[in-house]
Amino acid sequence: MSMTADAQYNRMVTDREPFLTRARECAKYTIPALVPPNEHSSHSRLNDTFQSMGARGVNNLSSKLLMALFPPNSPFFKLQISTYELEKLTGEPELQSQVEEALGQVERTVQGHIESQALRTTLFEAFKLLVVSGNVLIYIDPKGGARLWKLDSYVCERDAKGNLLKVIATDSVAVSTLDNDIREALGPHLQENEKEVTVYTVVERSEEGFKTYQEIKGERIKGSEGEYKASKVPFLALRWSKIDGESYGRSFIEEYLGDLKSLEGLSKAMVDGAAAASKVLFLVRSGGQTRIRTITDAPNLAVRQGDANDVSVLQVGKGGDFNTALTLARDIQERLAQAFLLTASIQRNAERVTAEEIRLMASELEDALGGVYSVMAQELQLPLVTVLLGQLTKTKAIPPLPNGTVEPKVIAGLDALGRGHELQRLQTMMGTLLNTLGPEVVSQYVNAPDLIRRIGTAMGVDMAGLVKSQEQLMQEQQQKQQQAMMDQAMGSMVGQVAASDPQPMNNGAQ
């Protein structure tokens, strides 16, 4: 007898526990609400942090990742087809630019679907969870939109190579919201006055791909079953870092947890010390001439009789220690700012800092995330594109693409936003040709309409109706020739009239 989803979940929780404990500790020093402590509820209060560097860093790094991997102004992927495959389909490899133009329309349709379904909002929250906890589960709903589960709401299992084998996600659902047939099936299992039940969503690998179903109290929900190909399963179990042999990933914050803990302790100590130092307390010497009432009752700028030696102010005298703590805290903040790619951290303290200098320093820092971009491309971007292409093809929003011929290629990283690499290659090639051969030779051998289409496609521009066709060019050329012939004939007629009547016409009086 197969194990119920509840029993499988409880068995897999043990492997998840060390990663969840670490995730909660990372969230404690950044954004505690992302992965709240155990047994936390909406009525309990989260602890406050004494520094904002962790929260600023998480939000900034998540925003940069979202803009880098999912730029709003151009598709983050490219549908490509080789010249060999194109020649097999059409017999004319010269049609590549027109095919790429058509594929570009499909890319923009997918990009528009992402924007219209507000997937970027879910992706931004997913990036924050990846930075802090290192793991998140996303479901792309075929009806539109997406939802996610935090690490404390799902478990997963992978093989030694990191391939996903099983995912079980949990949701608490009110009994009153369940369908009548489901409540009737759960009748013997429901306790009296039970208001909520746990719904287990199971995604497990099969021989042909993945199969999914939902289960409540050991009873499988009818109609919840589904089967997907391995490349089109809408459940994406994401990791920040890929470590072979582990079912869960490690987070970015985990690598800098020591600095965050140190900064938290120093910030708390400085806040407590500043509160103590800000307290003003006057001491009056016992047996002196000045009375305590004289000091307490005297208004500001008042003149009273007394001895200044009898009165003193209590001072902490820890200014030197505070400066040491402040210097160390600033050093830690600078290291964290560089790690979180905060712009202020890469600008040197000088009167004039060139834009190129900032760009080069930022590029060096961003290169450190190259490994993350690779993981995101393989586990988030490529599966997301494949799932969306399948869903949009099923709803006939886009035409079906030839299997095994057209494949999506992900362009990841801040240096390759949209089609930047392809556009840069075109610009470099044309610049080299112009400098080497000259404009006349280039215009003789380069097909200008095809070049315009490729540049527009590389920039993500809708090329439909933008470039003139060969028929339009020939028609315009014929019109120009006809107009030139008419102008020439008109000029000949005027010349003949002038030659036959040499006396100028005079309409005025002599």
- Asked whether residue 210 is domain-assigned, the answer is no
Which residue in 359, 388, 5 sits closest to 232, CA to CA? Answer: 388
Q: Give a yes or no: residue 420 inside a domain.
A: no
Measured CA to CA, the distance from residue 49 to residue 55 in angstroms comes to: 10
The reply to whether 223 falls in a domain is no
Per-residue model confidence (pLDDT) at position 346: 53
Q: Indicate whether 167 belongs to any domain.
A: no
Distances (CA, A) of 243 to 13, 360, 394, 436, 460: 19, 30, 35, 49, 35
Least confident of 54-68, 195-209, 218-232, 351-365: 351-365
Q: Tell me, yes or no, whether 289 lies in a domain.
A: yes
- pLDDT tens-place string over residues 398-435: 888 877 778 888 775 544 544 455 677 788 888 888 89
pLDDT of 11 strictly over 60: yes
CA 132 – CA 20 distance, rounded (Å): 11
* Count: domains in the chain: 1
Q: What is the pLDDT of residues 108-136, one digit of tens each?
A: 888 888 888 888 899 999 999 999 999 99
**How far from chain centre, in Å, is Cα 461?**
22
In a domain, 294, yes or no: yes
Summarised one tens digit per residue, pLDDT across range 20-75 is 999 999 999 999 999 998 877 666 778 888 999 999 999 988 988 888 788 776 77
Residue 197 lies in a domain: no
End-to-end distance of the chain based on CA atoms, in angstroms? 124
- Report which residue type is found at 223: G
- Given a contact cutoff of 8 angstroms between Cβ atoms, the answer to whether 344 and 211 are in contact is no
Which stretches of 99-186 are assigned E, i.e. beta strand?
Answer: 135-140, 146-149, 154-158, 164-174
Q: At what angle do helices 96-116 and 382-394 cross, to 10 degrees?
A: 90
Token representation of residue 382 = 């490529």
Residue 510 confidence (pLDDT): 41
Global pTM reads 0.75
Q: Structural domain of residue 280, as residue ranges?
A: 270-368
pLDDT surpasses 90 at 277? no
Q: How confident is the model at residue 464 (pLDDT cuts 50, 70, 90)?
A: low
pLDDT at residue 126, as a whole number: 95
Q: Is the pLDDT of residue 369 over 60?
A: yes
Tell me if 418 is assigned to some domain.
no
Q: Provide the H-helix boundaries in 340-438.
A: 355-367, 370-376, 382-394, 420-437
User: Model confidence over 140-171: pLDDT tens digits?
Assistant: 988 888 999 999 999 999 998 888 999 999 99
Cα four-point dihedral sign 29, 34, 38, 39: positive
pLDDT in tens, 234-258: 999 999 988 888 999 999 999 999 9
